[in-house]
Structure 1
Amino acid sequence: MTTRDWLLSDQPTSRRQAKLGQSYRTWLHLRQNRLAMLGLGIVVVLILMAIFADVIAPFDPYTAGDLRTERLLAPSWTHLMGTDDLARDIFSRIVYGSRVTLLVVAMVALIATPIGLAVGTTAGYFGGWVDTILMRITDIFLAFPRLILALAFVAALGPGIENAVIAIAITSWPPYARLARAETLTIRNTDYIAAIRLQGARSPRIIWGHVVPLCMSSVIVRVTLDMAGIILTAAGLGFLGLGAQPPQPEWGAMIASGRRFIIDFWWVATMPGIAIFVVSLGFNLLGDGLRDVLDPKGEK
């Protein structure tokens, strides 16, 4: 029996084989979606660029060149995306800026997702006054535009990439809570959960051991689709000077420094803008593909 036959077996002999087989079927379904694979490719390139930035970048992103001869140079074979007003190589700064972007995306996902899951599943499982209080708090956060609320938190915490991550995470969890609550409401009264209760399992164990795993697929899709919004919010904070601070190569801050030269030296602001657009597009395409694959109500 080949590995493929073992993974696609209709009669798995172990839980491990069943899980690996389901993951492999999901991958086969995702692979049929060309746009999703394009999005996955963009995300993989972003990750590899962040990991191997020291190898890929031809110049130091922090060191200024000769201001008399290397300032605001147009794209060429020496400087693929030109140089900025401090004679720094824009391509090198974009490559190193991928680390900042990936850090923000990863940290926001790691902070906001558990908060949203905890609030949503708790509200949906217990209902009553617990549901009312938690959802009203969620509604308060949803009442404000994400960027405006993030600006308020960053203004209170102070500028910096760490505070920007915290601010974006605080504003990102409410949609996940709403989604997790909706999923929990359809799960909590099923025979499966009733049987677990009859076995004597307590509420925290039921929520985290059985309800949360059933909500994960929908939340993962929503998180992936939200990555583009997170990147744009981080870039917006950087553009306003409240995110990563100079000389850190952050794409939003690079656009802000290049807006003064947009007419005569268009590449200074355009190149980081293209980077933001491509990465945001990649996460959106990947999220759409995952939604088609992981949606339990969709056709397989």
Structure 2
Amino acid sequence: MNAARRNWLLSDAPQTRRQARLGALYQGWLTFRANKLAMFGLIVLIVLIAMAALAPWLSPQSPFAQDLANRLQPPSAAHWLGTDHLGRDILSRLIHGSRITLFIVGTVALIAPVIGLFIGTVAGFAGGWVDQVLMRITDIFLAFPKLILALAFVAALGASITNAVLALALTAWPPYARLARAETLTIRNADYIAAARLQGAGPLRLLVRHIWPLCVSSLIVRVALDMAGIILSAAGLGFLGLGAQPPMPEWGAMISDGRTYILDFWWVAAMPGIAIFIVSMAFNLLGDGLRDVLDPKGAKS
């Protein structure tokens, strides 16, 4: 009878864990939904993603079509956000430029945290000279402003959107490495780590199965909060002509094109600037909401 009950409990354990995970997700969603500003940020990002996905159908005109007869036209019914110095519709270029923004943000968000997680957890778990070497390399990267270091990488690799993304990813990983190392130092001597080691788990298994999952939540919050800085850095590279090359409708490059006309034709530079401001603010608000869900103790402090 006891054996049958034990078998029933073991068979029901996965379902119980699944229900617990669903309950935790639901509670997290309720906490996130209670933050009105975070919901506003989420809605803005959903609109941005939908706009990027449906750009060919949403844009009223081609983002590359030039009409010199209608150059530098103010916002009107024909051109809701006006036209630039080549007569191109600014609204259409902003809509198509959202694809470039999401490409930059998504790629950097996939590359930089992974590099930082690997370096930080290896340094914190191994300790000794491995920790010293990896952290000194991290300190070297942190010693330079990210934008200046990204400019150096792009200057060495060549001006293009791919090289700009690679440069941003190579300069964005050090904070994630420091955060992952701090998390690893707090849990590497925990009892369950020692128990897993006694059961024969090797260093790689301990990192992948036990340490990495505990570091992910903090990294997610940091990534969401850093997205605004990544967008601004990408816009800075585009403004200097080192990011997306003409005639691509990158928002930073659009501001660069309009800086000559800022006094008389303000909308040429103001419209992409407003777009960058709104998206950056949305990522910051989303990051605050994720922090409340994934790191409630840090949010209260």
TM-score, length basis structure 1: 0.94
Following the alignment from structure 2 to structure 1, what is the Cα–Cα distance between the partners of residues 41 and 14? Answer: 32
* Letter matched to residue 153 of structure 2: F
* Letter matched to residue 38 of structure 1: F
| Counterpart residue number, 2:20 | 18
Q: Secondary structure at the match of 1:185?
A: helix
1:107 matched to 2:113? The reply is no
8 A Cα contact 2:164 2:243, kept in partner: yes
Q: Secondary structure at the match of 1:279?
A: helix
Note the C-alpha offset of 1:298. Answer: 4.7
| Counterpart residue number, 1:280 | 280
Following the alignment from structure 1 to structure 2, what is the Cα–Cα distance between the partners of residues 22 and 181? Answer: 26
Note the C-alpha offset of 1:13. Answer: 3.5
1:230 matched to 2:230? The reply is yes
Map Cα deviations across residues 168-221 of structure 1 (whole Å, 9 max, x no partner).
Answer: 000000000000000011110111111111110110111011101000000000
1:44 to 42, 46, 50: 46
Note the C-alpha offset of 1:43. Answer: 1.0
Following the alignment from structure 1 to structure 2, what is the Cα–Cα distance between the partners of residues 191 and 296? Answer: 24
| Alignment of structure 1 residues 86-235 onto 2, 5 Å | 86-235=86-235
TM-score, length basis structure 2: 0.93
| Counterpart residue number, 1:27 | 29
| Aligned pairs, number | 288
Q: Secondary structure at the match of 1:297?
A: helix
8 A Cα contact 1:12 1:18, kept in partner: no
Note the C-alpha offset of 1:12. Answer: 8.3
Q: Secondary structure at the match of 1:80?
A: coil
| Alignment of structure 1 residues 254-265 onto 2, 5 Å | 254-265=254-265
Structure 1 gap segments, 5+ residues each = 1-10
8 A Cα contact 2:184 2:215, kept in partner: yes
Structure (1 or 2) with the larger CA radius of gyration: 2
* Letter matched to residue 17 of structure 2: R
Following the alignment from structure 1 to structure 2, what is the Cα–Cα distance between the partners of residues 20 and 76? Answer: 49
8 A Cα contact 2:291 2:299, kept in partner: no
* Letter matched to residue 61 of structure 1: P
Work out the percentage of aligned pairs sharing the same amino acid: 68
Note the C-alpha offset of 1:16. Answer: 2.4
| Counterpart residue number, 1:60 | 62
Note the C-alpha offset of 1:15. Answer: 2.7
- Pairwise CA RMSD: 1.3
8 A Cα contact 2:81 2:91, kept in partner: yes
* Letter matched to residue 110 of structure 2: L
Following the alignment from structure 2 to structure 1, what is the Cα–Cα distance between the partners of residues 63 and 18? Answer: 46
Following the alignment from structure 2 to structure 1, what is the Cα–Cα distance between the partners of residues 299 and 166? Answer: 38
Answer 1 or 2: which has greater helix percent: 2
Q: Secondary structure at the match of 1:140?
A: helix
Following the alignment from structure 2 to structure 1, what is the Cα–Cα distance between the partners of residues 125 and 138? Answer: 16
**Which range moved further: 190-199 or 98-107?**
190-199
Following the alignment from structure 2 to structure 1, what is the Cα–Cα distance between the partners of residues 74 and 299? Answer: 50
Following the alignment from structure 1 to structure 2, what is the Cα–Cα distance between the partners of residues 299 and 236? Answer: 31
Note the C-alpha offset of 1:83. Answer: 0.3
Map Cα deviations across residues 7-44 of structure 1 (whole Å, 9 max, x no partner).
Answer: xxxx9843322222211111110000001111111111
Following the alignment from structure 2 to structure 1, what is the Cα–Cα distance between the partners of residues 47 and 18? Answer: 30
Structure 2 gap segments, 5+ residues each = 1-12
* Letter matched to residue 17 of structure 1: Q
* Letter matched to residue 39 of structure 1: G
| Counterpart residue number, 2:79 | 79
Following the alignment from structure 1 to structure 2, what is the Cα–Cα distance between the partners of residues 284 and 296? Answer: 17
